[in-house]
């Protein structure tokens, strides 16, 4: 199972890198310092947003940790936004973990995550649109994401840092879809001391952003 994780993460990383390069390469190919795009389909500047979504915390920790989350945020301009996120996990032992518990009464020395609260920033470093299936136009922002907070894992409170990339797709009437692919770092005080744990934390959210200045 740990091997499958690694393969999945590496494939995902390659896909992300390829996509980023594909998105950014036309501007670089023009040879200009800046390239002006046609008017945006959706503006973010000065707008609040709220989202709900599903997520997972994928680590080699012998737990399955799917979850749901909610976040609210605000964009100061088209590039920079701030975000507060809460997550609830529905953790259970993996099959191997269950076998260890049943056969030997042993459990991982990491605690299963129950919830997390983080605050962070988003940077939209571009804006693009893709014509899919011939008649389906998708407007999106590629983003860089970083956040920090704590994860509540049974009796422990674990300092947490997430960082990665995000893809924000804009729809009509202020609706939006956001996919974050983040690397996670948890530093947990186990019986042996403070031990780090690295993992992968994808989040898929759906939300809505009211117009700037209200209706």
Partner 1 sequence: MYGTVHNLWPTAAALSVAALFVLPSCTFIEFEPSPYQPRGVDIVYSQQEDITFFVWRVGDVVDFDRVDFELLVDGDYRPVDTEETIFPHAPYECDRNYYCLQFQLDGNRIPAGDAPVVRAHDDLHGTLESPEAREHQVETTFSIDPLATDNNRRATAQRTDWFDDEEIPLRRQWQWGLIESDGGECTIGSPDGWSTLRPRVELPQNWINSTPCFALRPHRSDGGGTVVVDRLIESPMLFGEDFDETIPSEKHPVHLAFLVNLEVTNEARCEQYIDSIRSEIFDSLDELEDHEDYPRTAGYEDLGIYRPVDNTGEEQSGCTQDTDHVYPVEDIITDADEATAGSTEISTLVVVYLNNLDLPPAQSNIERLAPLFEDRPEDADPHYYGWAIGSHTVLSIFPWNETTPWAPLEDENFLPAIETDVQRQFPLRSTDFDGDDTMTVHAPNASDDPQHVRLCTISPQPQRVALPPGEPGPYDTDTWAWPDDRSPKLFFDIPPQRFVRYPDFNEYRITGAYEVCDQYCDHPFIASDGQVHDSWVDAEGACRWD
User: Binding partner 1 by CB under 8 A: which of 47, 71, 85, 110?
Assistant: 110
In the complex, least distance from residue 193 CB atom to partner 1, rounded to whole angstroms: 11
Q: How far apart are CA 34 and CA 40, in angstroms?
A: 16
Q: How far apart are CA 25 and CA 65, in angstroms?
A: 36
Closest-CA residue to 154 (of 199, 193, 108, 196): 108
Closest-CA residue to 57 (of 13, 90, 20, 8): 90
The answer to the question of residue 77 lying near partner 1 (CB under 8 A) is: yes
The answer to the question of residue 112 lying near partner 1 (CB under 8 A) is: yes
User: Binding partner 1 by CB under 8 A: which of 56, 70, 82, 100?
Assistant: 100
Q: Using the rule CB under 8 A, give the single segment among 47-55, 73-81, 167-175, 205-213 that binds partner 1.
A: 73-81
- Asked if residues 69 and 180 have their Cβ atoms less than 8 Å apart, the reply is no
Cβ proximity to partner 1: between 18 and 52 the closer is 18
Q: Which two structure tokens, joined as six digits, stand for 148?
A: 């920090």
Cβ proximity to partner 1: between 49 and 127 the closer is 127
Cβ proximity to partner 1: between 66 and 206 the closer is 66
User: Which helix (H) or strand (E) covers residue 5, if one does?
Assistant: helix 2-29
Q: How far apart are CA 44 and CA 192, in angstroms?
A: 46
User: Binding partner 1 by CB under 8 A: which of 58, 87, 116, 203?
Assistant: 58
User: Binding partner 1 by CB under 8 A: which of 51, 61, 170, 205?
Assistant: 61
């Amino acid at each position: 199972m740990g091997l499958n994780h690694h393969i999945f993460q590496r494939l995902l990383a390659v896909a992300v890198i390829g996509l980023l390069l594909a998105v950014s390469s036309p501007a670089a190919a023009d040879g200009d310092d800046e390239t002006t795009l046609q008017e945006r389909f959706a503006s973010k500047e000065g707008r609040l947003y709220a989202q709900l979504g599903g997520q997972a915390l994928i680590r080699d920790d012998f737990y399955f940790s799917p979850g749901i989350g909610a976040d609210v945020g605000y964009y100061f301009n088209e590039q920079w936004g701030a975000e507060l996120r809460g997550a609830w996990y529905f953790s259970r032992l993996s099959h191997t973990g269950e076998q260890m518990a049943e056969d030997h009464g042993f459990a991982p020395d990491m605690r299963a995550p129950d919830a997390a609260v983080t605050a962070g920033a988003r940077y939209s470093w571009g804006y693009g649109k893709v014509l899919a299936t011939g008649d389906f136009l998708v407007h999106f922002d590629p983003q860089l994401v970083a956040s920090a907070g704590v994860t509540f894992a049974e009796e422990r409170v674990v300092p947490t840092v997430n960082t990665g990339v995000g893809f924000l797709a804009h729809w009509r009437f202020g609706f939006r879809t956001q996919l974050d692919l983040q690397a996670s770092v948890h530093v947990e005080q186990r019986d042996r001391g403070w031990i780090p744990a690295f993992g992968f934390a994808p989040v898929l959210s759906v939300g809505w952003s009211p117009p700037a200045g209200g209706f």
